[in-house]
Structure 1
Amino acid sequence: MIKLIGYARISTRQQDTDVQRAELLAAGVRRDDLYIDQGSSGARAACPQFYASLTALEPGDTFVIATLDRLGQSTLNVLAFSKRLSGQGVELRVLDLGGGDVDTGTPTGSMLFTTMAALGQMEHEIKRERVLDSIDRRRRAGKNLGGRPRRITNRQIRNANRLIEAGEPTAQVARDFGMSRATFYRGARTLGLLPDQSGDETPESDGAS
């Protein structure tokens, strides 16, 4: 027998599922086929009724939720979830998606989810490009990218010193080697490439560099 399997979820026990329950029942879901997780965060272990509802699904059934956020997943994960249901012969129905009732079993619903897939992927790529651009700008500016501090070798200090002695600006050379001017001066003094200036990190002779 083809069934409508309904699922509702709330994030805290202080909230009420009455609205979701009423919407699902009005959509034709039988009370015996309604699964509700209360006080659940959306994490796998915290949603036993969600997985119980999936177990109850059979080919030809429709999985019904009030709104898309009840799945507690990102857009791309929801699309993958819908595709997985479709592979099992099950449709996904969202009672309020963009102000309307959407069923992936209909041409309109299928088209909407396809559009969501494109938009979700585009959003993912835009965010990725922004992160990469930010990393590239910070790297070119010689800023710390986070994580463990980079270890500067004696060889890098010596090579940097050669460039500086050849007339290259100290600040630019330090950036090129991924270190600060203070780091270069400390390393150069330790290696005896510069005279000890009693803790002064930036020699006066470097002023315009």
Structure 2
Amino acid sequence: MAKLIGYARVSTRQQSTDRQEADLLAAGVRRDDLYTDHGVSGARASRPQFDRAIEAIETGDTLVITTLDRLGRSTQNMLAFADELRARGAGLRVLNLGGGDVDTSTPMGSMLFTVMAALAQMEHQIKRERIVDSISKRRIAGKDLGGRRQRVTDSQIRNALHLVQSGQPTAQVARDLGMSRATFYRRSRALTD
């Protein structure tokens, strides 16, 4: 008997698959046939629950996903995967593709899937170009790029020690350096030892 196998994925542990799961269940996927990866990038070749979902697929079954980007990042990989499913006698159904369901077991669905996979890859590449361009412009303008703060140098610790010795409150000096008082004490001891 043909089954619907559902797959949901989020890239970070802070994200939720609730909406994807609700859509998959509403599409007829049974909870027992729903596989979910948390904190797994679509760029990774191995995704534990995705691999389990693929193992569960038998001839006549259909893999159901909510959006195309749940499968992966490149058009080539997505098309190869759709061909692999087709060769196994299984189908692929994308719920939110172009405003409606797309089923790759039909010629029209297969064609639409190919076009949408290419568009999804293009969208990913355009987004990446924008991010790289934004970082480049911020770097040229001398603006903060975010990320981990630069390390406080030994010279800065020595200067801060002079401030403390001249009567400045240790907590304030440490705060100005962007560290806790305990870290300031530890770094100061390391310099004087």
TM over 0.5: yes
Amino acid at match of 1:24: L
Tell me the SS of whatever aligns to 1:105: coil
Instruction: Tell me if structure 2 keeps the 8 A contact 1:4–1:29.
Output: yes
Amino acid at match of 1:62: T
Amino acid at match of 2:98: G
Distance in 1 between residues matched to 2:15 and 2:98, nearest whole Å: 23
Distance in 1 between residues matched to 2:30 and 2:75, nearest whole Å: 28
Please state if 1:17 is matched with 2:10: no
Amino acid at match of 2:11: S
Aligned counterparts, 1:46-195, within 5 A: 47-116=47-116, 120=118
Distance in 2 between residues matched to 1:65 and 1:109, nearest whole Å: 14
RMSD: 2.4
Q: How many residues are paired up?
A: 122
Distance in 1 between residues matched to 2:116 and 2:46, nearest whole Å: 27
Unmatched 5+ stretches in structure 1: 128-209
Q: TM-score, normalised by structure 2?
A: 0.58
Distance in 2 between residues matched to 1:106 and 1:45, nearest whole Å: 27
Distance in 2 between residues matched to 1:107 and 1:45, nearest whole Å: 28
Rg (Cα) greater in structure: 1
Distance in 1 between residues matched to 2:107 and 2:95, nearest whole Å: 16
Tell me the SS of whatever aligns to 2:8: strand
Amino acid at match of 1:90: A
- % of aligned pairs identical? 67
Aligned to 2:2: 2
Aligned to 2:39: 39
Tell me the SS of whatever aligns to 2:35: strand
Distance in 2 between residues matched to 1:2 and 1:97, nearest whole Å: 23
Unmatched 5+ stretches in structure 2: 126-193
Amino acid at match of 1:103: D
Q: Deviations over 1:131-164 (max 9, x none)?
A: xxxxxxxxxxxxxxxxxxxxxxxxxxxxxxxxxx
Amino acid at match of 1:72: G
Q: Deviations over 1:58-91 (max 9, x none)?
A: 0000000000001123112101110111000010
Q: TM-score, normalised by structure 1?
A: 0.53
Q: CA 1:6–1:73 in structure 2 vs 1: closer, same or farther (change >3 Å)?
A: same
